[in-house]
Amino acid sequence: MRRIYFLVFILTLFSCKKNKLDIDISDIDVKVVIKRFEQIFYTASANDLPKIKKEFRAIFPHDIDSIWIHKMKDEQELELYREVQKVYPNLKNEKQQLENLFKHIKYYYPKFIVPEIITVISSVPLEQKVILDNQKLYISLDVFLGTDNSYYSDYPNYIKQNLTKEHLIVEVARVFANQTQFNSLNRTFIARMIQRGKLQYTIDAFLPNINEAEKRGYKKKQLQWNVINEEMIWRYFIAKKILYSTEAKLDRRFLDEAPFSKFYLDIDTESSGRIGEWLGVQIVKSYMSNNNSNLTELLKMDNEQIFKKSKYKPNKM
């Protein structure tokens, strides 16, 4: 087993050295402005509210001041605020990561406008981790406090493993990567796999220096399982004639967020969730290695054409 993990490490190291996405961004200039709404709001008094509402108009959907004054003084809200400040006393590292991300986006999309960053506390709504609205990017810091934080005790492990400081930049990149994608009407499973793979590859392009496991939302051992079992998974998909199936339930088995994938075999609980998405990005990577296409051309291509031209062959361990 140690030999297998060593081979996985060597393959990962080699692929990093050959990464076509390691581009030169040294001449790209961006300016990141971060406003910490949660610090301003939870240290303010009722008399400060009109000024705060004027500066952060989009955050206040109504004009009932009593609700916001109550929030300022609510002990549960203040407790969460204090917890956020423990984890994020400053955002020096996050600002550097955001600058690096925006430089990479601007390399591929020169007309990209850097948004204003506003950090907030939103009582841990997982569906609203990061929101882009009218050139303002809202980041809910209370969703990235760390896997073992008591606020996440009721969440399953496969969800809370990504509620970390390290994963924050990945979720930001995902918001912008989503905006670059083209919808596909092709409902075959292989097309859906590659559509997910395109999104993941775009995140790779925007965050080439973030480790693979973090970008995929896996623990290292989950990523290792994928690499070790890649050929087996591919053989299973072929044997079960899954690739060109249009069954919607395949999304729940192999593409949707889940603790593991559902082969209906003994290996299920050992497997990683979203295994179809992971294979999709391997096919996209193979296509990019074997064809002279750039990122924007890739995203416009038909998904099944990408598969046919990818020359994809699963790694054998």
Q: How far is residue 146's CA from residue 157's CA, in Å, rounded to a whole number?
A: 12
- Predicted local confidence at residue 63, as pLDDT: 75
Examine the pLDDT at 14 and tell me if it is beyond 70. no
- Predicted local confidence at residue 261, as pLDDT: 98
What token pair was written down for 1? Answer: 């087993």
Question: 145-169, pLDDT tens digit by residue?
Answer: 999 999 999 999 999 999 999 999 9
Among 10-19, 127-136, 289-298, the least confident range: 10-19
Confidence of residue 16 (pLDDT cuts 50, 70, 90): very low
Confidence of residue 6 (pLDDT cuts 50, 70, 90): low
Query: What ranges do the domains of the chain cover?
Result: 2-21+182-310, 34-179
Q: How far is CA 1 from CA 237, 266, 315, in A?
A: 25, 19, 17
Closest-CA residue to 30 (of 105, 83, 124, 120): 105
Mean pLDDT, the chain, whole residue set: 93
Q: How far is residue 299's CA from residue 297's CA, in Å, rounded to a whole number?
A: 5
Examine the pLDDT at 13 and tell me if it is beyond 70. no
**Do residues 22 and 208 touch, judged by C-beta distance below 8 A?**
yes
Q: How far is residue 296's CA from residue 166's CA, in Å, rounded to a whole number?
A: 27
**Do residues 12 and 224 touch, judged by C-beta distance below 8 A?**
no
Q: Which helix (H) or strand (E) holds 138?
A: strand 136-140
Strand, helix or coil at 139?
strand
Segment 42-58 mean pLDDT: 96
Q: Which helix (H) or strand (E) holds 307?
A: helix 303-310
Confidence of residue 104 (pLDDT cuts 50, 70, 90): very high
- Predicted local confidence at residue 19, as pLDDT: 64
Segment 177-184 mean pLDDT: 96
**Do residues 150 and 209 touch, judged by C-beta distance below 8 A?**
no
CA 16 to chain centre: 19
- Predicted local confidence at residue 22, as pLDDT: 85
Confidence of residue 187 (pLDDT cuts 50, 70, 90): very high
Examine the pLDDT at 216 and tell me if it is beyond 60. yes
Closest-CA residue to 113 (of 21, 174, 32): 32
243 Ramachandran zone, left/alpha/beta (phi>0; psi -120 to 50): alpha
Closest-CA residue to 84 (of 24, 23, 43): 43
Question: 272-309, pLDDT tens digit by residue?
Answer: 999 999 999 999 999 999 999 999 999 999 999 999 99
- Predicted local confidence at residue 17, as pLDDT: 44
What token pair was written down for 54? Answer: 């004027």
Q: How far is residue 224's CA from residue 218's CA, in Å, rounded to a whole number?
A: 10
Residue entry with tokens 């699963």: 314
Q: How far is residue 253's CA from residue 60's CA, in Å, rounded to a whole number?
A: 40
- Predicted local confidence at residue 18, as pLDDT: 53
- Predicted local confidence at residue 61, as pLDDT: 83
Examine the pLDDT at 21 and tell me if it is beyond 60. yes
Confidence of residue 126 (pLDDT cuts 50, 70, 90): confident
DSSP summary character for residue 144? -
Examine the pLDDT at 131 and tell me if it is beyond 80. yes
Examine the pLDDT at 210 and tell me if it is beyond 50. yes
Reduced DSSP (H G I as helix, E B as strand, rest coil) percent helix, strand, coil of the chain, to 5: 60, 5, 35
